[in-house]
Structure 1
Amino acid sequence: MEQTVVLITGCSSGIGLSLAVRLASDPAKIYKVYATMRNLAKKERLLDCVKDLHKDTLDILQMDITDQRSILDARDRVREKRVNILGMTRVMTYRNSVISCVCGCVRETEEQMSLIFLHQQQFLYMCTAYRMSCALDFCLSVVFMLAVCNAGVGLMGPLEAQSLATMRQILEVNLLGTISTIQAFLPGMKAQGHGRILVTGSIGGLQGLPFNEVYCASKFAVEGACESLAILLQHFNIHVSLIECGPVNTDFLDNLQRAEPGDSSLQQVDAHTRSLYDTYLQHCGMVFQNAAQDTEDIVKVFLDAIQSTNPAFRYYTNNALIPLSSPKISALDGSQYIRNMSKIIFSTNGKGEQK
């Protein structure tokens, strides 16, 4: 039985790491995993997890989804092996939460079956939960399996406090990084005549969150890109799926770009906005404490999507988040959702008590 070659990005920690270890540890050795990361100096954690037990199922490569040359180099290295996979996962940490992106691409021999799996690195859904994950495809004989990750970077704080350079960086990583990766591998997938794209999404890409305007804009854009591709790619027998996540217990918020109380950038913001931001930060901490999932819970959802013979377009890792989106459908003018979310976020004192 030939191996399915999977390339995952963002494997230095979080979901990318967990997924790589899970697939490479498959007892049947179905997968050949290429775990990629932007900085290979951070590979020790992954090596510690596998403990040299998976020399025939795991390799580690360098790949930066914001660098087109790096993407192409990784793609070419995968193709040199004939049985290839390209995957991207990026992780940002915020205390115990993670935004990850995973891309996996597999290339086999003749059975024309491509899989593109996009693990969108995502920001935690700070209002009801943010999270993210990664995944790969599982076919036994795959000609070219590609997973593209929307590297996710979090940006939180009053819009007036954000610089243009910072906002551009968020769009560069979250949106253009994902699209650039897809661009590099999509022609090969189309040529195979079969495939699957799994994208790790975020609840922040489905509904707006205060103080996350630019982040949500980037995630909304990724959702739109994936939905547009899904309509087109069905004509190539390529399935696109989004894995919508909330908070996850991994390192995420340490690298989250956010305005902290007392920062000089907040001094230009009016007092009422600063007060609302303080309330929002309390709400985020409470939500993450109560709703965060473990990485293994996310990996299981990815495996369910991967193994489905008729994959859905969206999978939710936490069903508790679904009701929050229902007002957007039942009240199409958007007013009900806005009122509900404002009440949920700003009517608590950070301890879950109503003011």
Structure 2
Amino acid sequence: MISKISLQKLALILLVSVLFLTCRQEKETPQLTDNVRRIDGPYVFYEGTDTKVVGVNSSNQITKTDYSGELNVIVPEQMPEQFSLKLMNSIENPSSQYKKSDNIFVVSDIEGNYYSFAKLLIGNGITDAKLNWAFGDGDLVLVGDFVDRGEFVTQVLWLVYKLEMEAKEHGGQVHMIIGNHEAMLLEGDWRYTRLKYRELANALGIDIRELYGVSTELGRWLRSKNMIEKIGDILFVHGGISNTLLDKQLNLDEINRIAQENYGADLDNNNLEIANLLFGRYGPLWYRGLVKSYKDYYPKVNSEDIDRILSYYQAKNIVIGHCVVNDISTDFNGKVVRVDVEHPVTSDDKMESRALLIKDGGFYRMDDQGNKTKLN
């Protein structure tokens, strides 16, 4: 028969054991489940005066270190497999308009596809084989949707971030234009993301939107970006300009300012008419009418609509992504240039990546080997 004192001792032993195990678990590095692709990040978080770098290593463990002046980005089983960069000294909002450029390379809708993005950049001399800027004073225009769906979203964003700094050092420019998927990411709408990103947020004990929150470097950087830009007499926007938006008579600076003020905001429960328009079905992120009719909401625009858009913004062409087309192509006698195409994810895919080159006033379809075909 067990005495009362023995029971008390047993209970005490069990309590100490539980506390001991709990303490051990808190000190151990969290490990992600096996359905998460190894190696992710880095994610840079600002905690008071500290800058913390969080990532997932090759052992599938979460790491957390202090920023040491350089970030190393690893992309497993890709070429090149890694690159390094330093954080920007400050993040500034880009201009809405830029002077004419005789060398513009345009890519759209990469969606975390590091394989095709790197291959396009290297194959067309935008970077060297180690992904260092090699485009001189040229302009690299990224027309939205570089996040979601793919396995290497974080790495793709850091590559753009790195090239942005390097381009400026050589008199060039990287134009990262926000698409609907970047906006969704900042809003916390992660329907199209890989499971590994959700698993990481859960393991860190944070809401998934905090991976790109206002206390992170990538979150701050993305929130500085424009929704629409103009280089010379060419407009660049992810989705397009609708008649509904055009009727508001907003200039480019106004569109971008309102967008930047509302990235990540709850736009379902407010009375912000213009902000809701910009982020809604008829806004620059989601509008599809320059390419096709969309369900019962609106028909495809006509030539008069295109002329009205270009006239108001004093432009000759508008370059868009968002709607997948069979190849880099034009419409409305070359006034609309469509650049959202399917990209291969691995070398086993039987397709080639495509991009747009605007050089000395000519428009060219480029493949990932640098081969050039003039558009009609």
If the length of structure 2 is used for normalisation, what is the TM-score? Answer: 0.25
If the length of structure 1 is used for normalisation, what is the TM-score? Answer: 0.26
Q: Which has the higher helix share?
A: 1
